[in-house]
Amino acid sequence: MPDYKELINAMIEYYSGDPKRIQHFLKVYTFSRLIGEMEALDANTLYILETAAIVHDIGIKVSEEKYGDCNGKHQELEGPSIAKEMLEKLNVDSKVVDRVCYLIGHHHTYDNIKGLDYQILVEADFLVNFYEDQVSRDSIIHAVDKIFKTKSGRDICSKIF
């Protein structure tokens, strides 16, 4: 199993003083790992997924500074380059970095999801956002029907909400 201590600590440092963001990425990471394992992802895909989950919202800070908001599209635009720099400093393999940056650059785009790593990242982010944003039950049901594809993600969501 890969050791994520350095990456998680780098993200905690990056979000220093912002417990909400730190809590968010840790929860998305945990759900991503759980769903990925339940869906029997191969080791490399699970590694990519978990890495992406840790850094998925890395573009929020720049989006807030540059655009005055944390809009998902702005995160997708700004996040990949910041993540690439952080991951390269931690000597993450370039193929992993490329896929992680792709996932960051698309994690708020819900049509044409390609790859189980992408699907699970989206589902894990939704699971956390449903709770953090206090989404209504009807909205959760609608989102699950439209977006969730994995049996594990659907099962976890039905048990939580």
**Angle formed by the axes of helices 19-38 and 116-132, nearest 10°:** 130
The domains found in the chain, sorted by start residue, are 5-160 (1.10.3210.10)
pLDDT digits (tens, 9 = 90+) for 14-68: 999 999 999 999 999 999 999 999 999 999 999 999 999 999 999 999 888 888 8
H-type alpha helices, 15-136: 19-38, 43-55, 60-67, 72-89, 94-104, 116-132
pTM for the structure as a whole: 0.96
Q: What is the maximum alpha-carbon separation in the chain?
A: 44
Predicted pLDDT of residue 69: 81
pLDDT digits (tens, 9 = 90+) for 98-125: 999 999 999 999 999 999 999 999 999 9
> CB count, 10 Å around CB of 107?
24
Q: Which two tokens stand for residue 128?
A: 């956390």
